[in-house]
């Protein structure tokens, strides 16, 4: 489907699709993503992180091809090879660092450190497109850095300490900011669903290749009911369904409003982790999370619709 006709269809659909339903879909998307940190933690008790992400992304590719092949197949030509490699490699780097980092830190902590990507994205855009960030972006970056500092405080000692898992998660946020910038560029040249498909395909192959050489292979532990249910949640719910709801929601809700709704992902993550994982949240983490979330809201709240 050519981009002009896609825009026309989206405009026509916007007049009939209820905006409040679209907002609910975006909120459900944020909740699914928020729950994915906790569920991934459970799944990784049996499935190593790279295997988990490889199966998750390639499984989503199969579902997307079955549902959206009419939008995907026309875009699979030589022109999309370089964009596919760029978005695929950066997505692989994003999810590899986040998932491996999650093996050593709590889900809520991972979610808030990952949320720093919202603050970093304007600077990644500056690096790739030469479009300078605004003053509010600089202020948000300073507040976010202060938030990370509070998260890093060791209770009782007052010293700063970021674990390897924390550093990997911050690296995830940095790489993700470049991934989102590239997605924004290439989604204007190709159908957004096709770009998402090739991103998952390239990243999925890279996950499986690195998993074969660095992690133990499949075992019977993968077949336990709780692990199967966790995997189904991750690939059907947090990846495939969430992506579809995000695409629909973004077509019917202004960008600034949609961004703020989706930022609640980190709030859902820390809530689920505290309720079901028993994550202990100290005063320094509460202050740090609040500062990071404030910086995220500053970054997305100034976007134009």
- DSSP annotation string for 220-244: GGGGSHHHHHHHHIIIIIIIIIHHH
Residue ranges of the alpha helices (H) in the chain? 3-14, 19-43, 49-72, 81-102, 107-114, 117-129, 135-152, 164-186, 192-214, 225-232, 242-252, 255-262, 265-272, 283-301
pLDDT confidence of residue 245 = 85
pLDDT confidence of residue 162 = 84
d(CA 197, CA 187) in angstroms, rounded, equals: 12
pLDDT confidence of residue 278 = 87
pLDDT confidence of residue 256 = 62
Angle between helices 107-114 and 135-152 (to 10 degrees): 160
Please give the chain's pLDDT, 305 residues, in tens: 333 344 444 444 445 678 888 889 889 999 999 999 999 999 999 999 999 999 999 999 999 999 999 999 999 999 999 999 999 999 999 999 999 999 999 999 999 999 998 889 889 989 988 888 888 888 999 999 899 988 887 665 566 778 999 999 999 999 999 998 898 888 888 888 899 899 999 999 999 999 999 999 888 989 999 999 999 999 889 988 887 888 778 777 776 677 778 888 999 999 999 898 888 888 888 999 999 999 988 887 654 44
Q: Where are the domains of the chain?
A: 19-301
pLDDT confidence of residue 53 = 95
Which of 267, 284, 270 lies closest to 152, judged by CA?
284
Half-sphere exposure in the Cβ direction for 11 (13 Å, CA): 6
Residue with tokens 């995907």: 72
* Residue 58 burial by Cβ neighbours in a 10 Å radius (0-12, 13-18, 19+): middle
pLDDT confidence of residue 158 = 60
Give the predicted TM-score (pTM) of the model. Answer: 0.85
The answer to whether the beta carbons of residues 173 and 120 sit under 8 Å apart is yes
Q: What is the DSSP letter of 209?
A: H
d(CA 91, CA 37) in angstroms, rounded, equals: 17
pLDDT confidence of residue 155 = 63
| Token couple for 14 | 């916007």
Residue with tokens 């924390």: 166
């Amino acid at each position: 489907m050519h981009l002009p006709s896609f825009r026309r269809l989206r405009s026509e659909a916007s007049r009939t699709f209820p905006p409040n339903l679209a907002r609910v879909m975006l909120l459900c998307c944020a909740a699914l993503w928020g729950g994915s940190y906790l569920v991934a933690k459970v799944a990784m008790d049996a499935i190593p992180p790279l295997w988990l992400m490889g199966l998750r992304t390639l499984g989503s590719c199969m579902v997307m091809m079955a549902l959206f092949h009419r939008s995907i197949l026309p875009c699979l030509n030589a022109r999309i090879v370089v964009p596919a490699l760029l978005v695929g490699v950066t997505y692989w780097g994003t999810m590899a660092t986040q998932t491996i980092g999650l093996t050593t830190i709590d889900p809520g902590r991972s979610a808030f450190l990952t949320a720093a990507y919202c603050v970093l994205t304007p600077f990644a855009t500056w690096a790739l497109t030469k479009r300078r960030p605004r003053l509010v972006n600089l202020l948000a970056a300073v507040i976010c850095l202060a938030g990370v500092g509070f998260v890093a405080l060791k209770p009782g000692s007052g010293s700063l300490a970021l674990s390897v898992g924390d550093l990997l998660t911050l690296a995830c946020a940095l790489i993700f900011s470049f991934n989102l910038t590239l997605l924004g560029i290439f989604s204007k040249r190709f159908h957004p669903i096709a770009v998402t498909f090739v991103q998952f395909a390239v990243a999925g192959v890279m996950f499986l290749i690195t998993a074969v050489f660095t992690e133990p292979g499949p075992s019977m532990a993968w077949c336990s009911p709780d692990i199967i249910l966790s995997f189904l949640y991750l690939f059907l719910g947090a990846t495939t369904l969430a992506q579809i709801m995000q695409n629909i929601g973004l077509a019917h809700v202004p960008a600034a409003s949609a961004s703020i709704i989706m930022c609640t992902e980190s709030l859902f993550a820390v809530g689920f982790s505290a309720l079901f994982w028993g994550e202990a949240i100290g005063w320094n983490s509460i202050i740090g999370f609040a500062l990071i979330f404030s910086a995220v809201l500053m970054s997305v709240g100034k976007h134009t619709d």
